[in-house]
Amino acid sequence: MVTQRRVLLFSLIALPFAIAYGCDKVPLLAPTGAAISLIPQATSVSLNSEVTITAVVMENGQQFGGSGSGGAVTGRVGAGTPVQNGTVITFTTSLGRIEPSEARTHDGQATVRLVTGTSSGSAVVTAFSGGASSSLTLKVGTAAAGRVILTTTPQALGANGGSVTVQALVTDEGGGPVGGVPVTFSTDKGSISPSTAATDGSGVATATLTTTATAKITATAGAQSGTATVNVNARGLASFTVAPASTTAGSPVVFTVTPTAGANISNVRINFGDGEVRDLGPVSAAQPVTKVYTSPGIFTATATAIDASGAAESPFSTTVIVSAAAVGLTASSNTPAVNTAVTFTATVPAGTAVDHFVFTFSDASIPPRTTSNPSTTVSFASRGQKTVRVDVFGIGGGQIGSNQITIDVQ
């Protein structure tokens, strides 16, 4: 009898501990009639990132949110009260992972994170507790791409072409940036590098286009693409010519600068190849430029157009062959008497630009003479053969030709 009483007493004492132990092991689940609603922090998720998802659990409530495409919130909160604190909600996903996979409610809410990796697609997130459940679909990576906006800096290049920075902004349907997704770049002119780049945290992927002609660029992310055009301006000059292409020193040649129709040229700079450079200023029509080369040689002249932005284009060039001028020299007498005046006269082709003449004499008693006049008069004090030379110098000081004759003084 005593033994039975002891067993009964022990059982009464141990019962509360057993009940408490059992309650701790059995999770608290949502009661019958509860509703779970899922609310995402964002409707799309970048690759290698995460998004917060909140489960709202109400007793006798009406489910809302999560049923729209891409996780858009729909419906409205119904009447109800939050479930008991500590109610366990279990989460699963078809893509990525949920951290933590179980969460306990506080004031009717439990928050977890969807963590994505390198795979794009649709993540179906499901939350359940007791007999209540709810699902939410979020687009991940390229599946979230709703639009690709392509921009270039600068938007246009000079006639020589060059390089521009290309940026593709990838956004979801709501306009939010999508990071970590690969963007493929292509162009119909020139080259673009890299051909594939991943968007950063701001949803921007960057590449560089190099081209010498107007180019159309396309950027593709998933099923979405965007385009942009980089204009390469037409050459400012259509041609640069010279006539005649072969001449003699001191004779004028005419260069002609012809602009491209409609070109906006702020200046054309001509380098004549002999050290002289001229700026013509704005040129809107064919413009002749006269030039006199003052010394023989082969000269390469260039014309460089400068556009309104100050950028210089690749120059046009042309070549001029300049020969020594044909200089004639005569004497008023080839056999003059001693101490008799003799006039020496130099001649050059018509139109030759001459600055001065230098006469030199083999008779050391007569010093050289420099004159702007083609003639000079001297007399010789001794008999014998006398040689006279004339050197002709053009405008600018270059020697354009020479000649000499010999006379016999009697």
Q: Looking at residue 307, what is its pLDDT?
A: 83
Q: Looking at residue 319, what is its pLDDT?
A: 96
Question: What separation in angstroms does the CA of 197 have from each of 48, 220, 224?
Answer: 15, 11, 15
Lowest mean pLDDT across 67-71, 135-139, 199-203: 67-71
Please provide the CATH number assigned to the domain covering 328-409.
Answer: 2.60.40.10
pLDDT tens digits, 13-36: 444 444 444 445 688 999 999 999
Read off the pLDDT band of 75 (50, 70, 90).
Answer: very low
Mean pLDDT of 174-181: 90
> Which residues lie closer than 8 Å to 124 by C-beta, 6 or more apart?
93, 94, 95, 135, 136, 137
Mean pLDDT of 203-228: 95
pLDDT tens digits, 387-403: 999 999 988 778 889 99
Architecture of domain 145-232: Sandwich (2.60)
CA pair distance 350, 121, nearest whole angstrom: 87
- How buried is residue 41: exposed, middle or buried, by Cβ count under 10 Å (0-12/13-18/19+)? middle
Share above pLDDT 90 across residues of the chain, in percent, rounded to a whole number = 72
Share above pLDDT 70 across residues of the chain, in percent, rounded to a whole number = 89
Mean pLDDT of 201-215: 94
CATH 2.60.40.10 fits domain 237-323: yes
Q: Looking at residue 160, what is its pLDDT?
A: 83
In degrees and rounded to multiples of 5, residue 291 shows phi and psi of: -140, 140
pLDDT tens digits, 43-69: 889 999 999 999 999 998 665 554 333
Q: Looking at residue 23, what is its pLDDT?
A: 46
CA pair distance 185, 360, nearest whole angstrom: 76
DSSP 8-state assignment for residue 139: E
Architecture of domain 35-143: Sandwich (2.60)
pLDDT tens digits, 107-133: 999 999 999 999 999 999 999 999 999
Q: Looking at residue 64, what is its pLDDT?
A: 54
CA pair distance 392, 401, nearest whole angstrom: 5
pLDDT tens digits, 273-314: 999 999 999 999 999 999 999 889 999 999 999 987 788 888
Domain(s) labelled CATH 2.60.40.10 in the chain stretch across: 35-143, 145-232, 237-323, 328-409
**Total residue length of the chain:** 410
In degrees and rounded to multiples of 5, residue 155 shows phi and psi of: -85, -15
